[in-house]
Amino acid sequence: MRGGQIMQNTLSPKGLRGKVAFVTGASGALGSDTARALSARGVRLALLGRNTEKLEALARELGGPEKALAIEMNVRNLASVEAAAKNAAEHFGGIDIVVAGAGMVTTELVENYSATGFVDDIDTNLNGVWRTVKATLPYVRESKGHISIVASLASFIHMPEMSAYSASKAGVLALANSLRLELDGSSVTVGTIHPSFFESALGNALTTSPLLNRASGNFGGLFTPIKREDVVAAIAKNIERRSRVAVLPRAFSALALMPGLGQRVIEPYLTHNLRKTAGNLER
């Protein structure tokens, strides 16, 4: 609660004005565009990441410290996330919205991951979201706010050479489901966003994976990249409606209801693509 700005239990487009969002991954493609979209709705922003140059440039673009504050933070370090949450809450007088968007991907065969390669994805994408939620929850409880976790289609569909990423994104969905039940009665809401591939540094890194290229039909057909602006719009809507889940493209929406079945249904398509191209490529 803060002077003259008691959080109403609504985050409608009108109700978003003046609210405070804690956006991790704000130096990245999706995070920076999400910050811009929220800023356009009158949201004040704590911009979190490791690349302070990019964060500070974005903060200036969005109007400077009263409207947007760059804060250096590493999601792999709890003390760093806790310090950032405290800094953001003290600067703006609270935190109403969390967008947990920091993420990374290391594409590799299960048997070839280095000792750290596998762990890095899990520590950033899963443990990092846990650290973000843990550090911000005291403030979000007070504001009765909303936590929007950027997961992936990989929460439901597990592709080759993406085992660490898929495990982290399936794990983050489980984290969100447990959290939602723990928060029952608190008025805090939790949503997960599950986009397919879109252009970004992370998205572009995926295109270097031979098996993933083959399984996805060179990112064509079902796996044609989606527009990043559609993902941004889905995040904004998830916050405004305090909704539970968003899957993009919508054709995959049923996966959120039947994740196990979804993998069984999609697997023959992936296997067909892999067999069709067997021998064409190294993997």
Ligand X SMILES: NC(=O)c1ccc[n+]([C@@H]2O[C@H](COP(=O)([O-])OP(=O)(O)OC[C@H]3O[C@@H](n4cnc5c(N)ncnc54)[C@H](OP(=O)(O)O)[C@@H]3O)[C@@H](O)[C@H]2O)c1
For the window 138-167, what string marks contact with ligand X as x by the rule CB under 6 A? ------------x-x---------------
d(CA 119, CA 76): 11
Helix or strand holding residue 215 (H, E) = helix 210-215
189-195, strands of its sheet edge to edge: 68-72, 44-49, 20-24, 97-100, 146-150, 189-195, 245-248
CB 139 within 8 A of CB 183: no
Q: Which stretch binds ligand X (CB under 6 A): 58-66, 101-109, 178-186, 273-281?
A: 101-109
Instruction: Establish if 217 lies at the interface with ligand X (CB under 6 A).
Output: no
Instruction: Establish if 51 lies at the interface with ligand X (CB under 6 A).
Output: yes
CB of 228 to ligand X, least distance (A): 8
CB 280 within 8 A of CB 211: no
Q: Which residues of 159-177 are buried (b: 16+ CB within 10 A; e: fewer)?
A: bbbbbbbbbbbbbbbebbe
Q: Which stretch binds ligand X (CB under 6 A): 6-14, 48-56, 180-188, 260-268?
A: 48-56
Residue 269 catalytic? no
Instruction: Establish if 75 lies at the interface with ligand X (CB under 6 A).
Output: yes
The residue among 201 and 281 lying less far from ligand X, judged by its C-beta, is: 201
In the 8-state DSSP scheme, what is residue 6? Answer: P
Query: Of the listed 113, 139, 165, 269, which one is catalytic?
Result: 165
Q: Which residues are catalytic, by number?
A: 165
Binding site for ligand X (CB under 6 A): 24-25, 27-31, 49-51, 73-76, 101-104, 124, 150, 152, 195, 197-198, 200-203
